[in-house]
Amino acid sequence: MGIIRASTIPNPRISRRTFVQGIGTAAAATALGGSFAGDARAAGPLMWYSASSVESVDGWAKMYKEKTGNTVEYFRTGGVKLAQRFAQEAQAGQAQCGPIDVSIPGLMSQWARQGLLMEYDSPEAAHYPDDIRMKGFWTPIKALVCCMAYNADVIKPEEAPKHWEDLLDPKWKGKLVTADAFSSGATLHWFGALRSAYGKEFMEKLAAQDVLVKQGSGETTDTVVSGERPVAAMILQYYVFGEIDKGANLNVVFPEEGLPISYEVIGISKDAPDPEGSKKFVDFALSKEAQTSWQKTYYTPSMRDDVEPLSREHGRRPLSEVKRIGSSAADLDKLFEEQADLLDAWGELFK
């Protein structure tokens, strides 16, 4: 089961700022390298495009083969690069993939409205909340939970922040870390959601706390584990529990007022080479069995209503008990429309 390398994507160094201004349009497709010459599609194994981790994608591919006897090959890379590739192919009417998952729900909605996605409402989708999916086009395959976290070897639980506004306490100045919104879509979502909920002044005060900005959630987690900056103002839950599983003494914080939660969402290209195979794979991805497997192995919560929630430990609670801030499909569509302005605002405060 090979992986197609990201180096095959035209113009991979395009900035996120430029990307969010034009991706999904014909102009963007041209800017990203133009159309492919001829129709390179050919009959063969189902092709899945994914922005999820290599390990999780390969695990599902093997599980699907064992369950159905059918092979699914995959192209796996980061969300921005994956979107570049798909937009280029789709605008040329030469999609190479059937199923596609990305961590930018608003972009998937835009593609649906532009007619680039197949309309298919999987029977499995009925197990997911209506307000976090675009009926007939995309459904979440995992929740990306934006929470706080802290190093319990450095910070006592009773002294740790409990609410988002606690981060503004002067005692946390110089002790906070987060990922960069220019490289992390989750951070941009968190920034936009909390800025909307608490106002611009909240983010201005947070920026004044001398927050260390790292490249991504992996570096952010490492910084908390080392104790260099013992509190993450925002971090993805699954990174924290990956380190806890390795022995790190970390806790997450789920404020009572709620959390921004984004989603990895799956849909199907309108011009999928294998439409029926693509539908079967989406049914599998949304099934209880596949969702349970991913959640248990990779710590990414499922939004499916009959999947047993992750255990209560290290500050984690079931998402059914958590208020979602700025996290509906409508909220995420609005966030996508405002991304360029939000990136400008982020840059002024944290760069």
Q: Which residues sit in the known binding site for Fe cation?
A: 238-239
- CA nearest neighbour of 210 among 171, 184, 236: 171
What residue numbers does the annotated binding site cover? Answer: 238-239
**Residue 339, SS3?**
helix
Q: What are phi and psi of 323, to 5 degrees?
A: -75, 135
Dist. CA 147–CA 139, nearest whole Å: 22
Number of helices (H) and strands (E) in the chain: give both, helices first.
13, 9
Identity of the amino acid at 283: D
Neighbours of 106 (CB within 10 A): 26
Strands 139-151 and 231-236: antiparallel
Q: With the CA atoms of 47, 50, 56 and 59 taken in that order, what torsion angle do they form, in degrees rounded to the nearest 10?
A: 0
Dist. CA 302–CA 291, nearest whole Å: 6
Q: Which residues contact 240 (CB under 8 A, 6 or more apart)?
A: 147, 149, 221, 232, 250, 252, 314
DSSP H helices in the chain: 16-22, 26-31, 54-68, 79-91, 105-113, 185-198, 200-207, 217-226, 237-244, 275-286, 288-298, 329-337, 339-350
Q: Which residues pair with 261 in a beta bridge?
A: 145
